[in-house]
Structure 1
Amino acid sequence: MQPYQPLACELYDHLEVACLYGYRLKVELTDGSTLEAQALTTRTNAAKEEFLCLRGADGPLEIRLDHLLAITPLDAGSRFGRVELGGTRCPS
């Protein structure tokens, strides 16, 4: 597994809003796969890797933030549209 690469700082706001409002998201991953799930929260593990915690059709799941390519809210009236996350990292 690749070393964790933090997202660009300004992109965290979109994840926080998605979790605050419990948006259903279309999540695009860097491996080309997609899924739909409800945003719940974010968390950081002891190794300082950050994760988006979601509720999918099959239950809870976590996705490391640097595996996210883009998120798109599926709820009407969402506060943002599609946000590209992949390839945009915080400077070290």
Structure 2
Amino acid sequence: MMKIEPIACELHDYIEIACMYGYLVKLTLTEHRSLEGKAIDVVTEQNKREFLVIDNGERQKVELSKIVEMETRTPGAKFQSIRFK
């Protein structure tokens, strides 16, 4: 069974802020992929894996452990860019 690596609490706070204010974010993921969309919510599945839900025309779940960087695209956001790894 694969061990789930939770992200640091302070990083979790930034994700919560992005969701609370509905920021447009650009996520840089492992495997050099990136996604953009509006931060909607954080969900935890039964197996304790956590996901950020973004809306970019459709709702997508992004596993928090796969996020390398989150940049805000919303003017006047409370933060600009957060590195996770």
TM exceeding 0.5: yes
Alignment of 1:84 with 2:83, yes or no, is: yes
The structure, 1 or 2, with the larger RCO (C-alpha pairs under 8 Å, 6+ apart) is: 1
2:12 alignment counterpart: 12
Provide the aligned C-alpha RMSD in A.
1.4
Q: Please state whether the residue corresponding to 2:61 is helix, strand or coil.
A: strand
2:22 alignment counterpart: 22
Q: CA deviation at 1:64?
A: 0.6
Aligned residue-pair number: 85
Moved over 3 A (4+): none
Give distance in 2, aligned partners of 1:18 and 1:34: 17
What whole-Å deviation, never above 9, does each CA across 1:36-79 have from its counterpart, x for those lacking one?
A: 1100000100001100001013x000011000001000010000
2:43 alignment counterpart: 43
More helix by share: 2
Residue identity (%): 31
Q: CA deviation at 1:85?
A: 1.0
Give distance in 1, aligned partners of 2:10 and 2:19: 16
Q: Please state whether the residue corresponding to 1:15 is helix, strand or coil.
A: helix
1:67 alignment counterpart: 66
Give distance in 2, aligned partners of 1:60 and 1:49: 17
Give distance in 2, aligned partners of 1:8 and 1:40: 20
One-letter amino acid of the counterpart of residue 56, structure 1: N
One-letter amino acid of the counterpart of residue 77, structure 2: S
Q: Please state whether the residue corresponding to 1:7 is helix, strand or coil.
A: coil
Q: CA deviation at 1:17?
A: 0.4
TM-score, normalised to structure 2, is 0.93
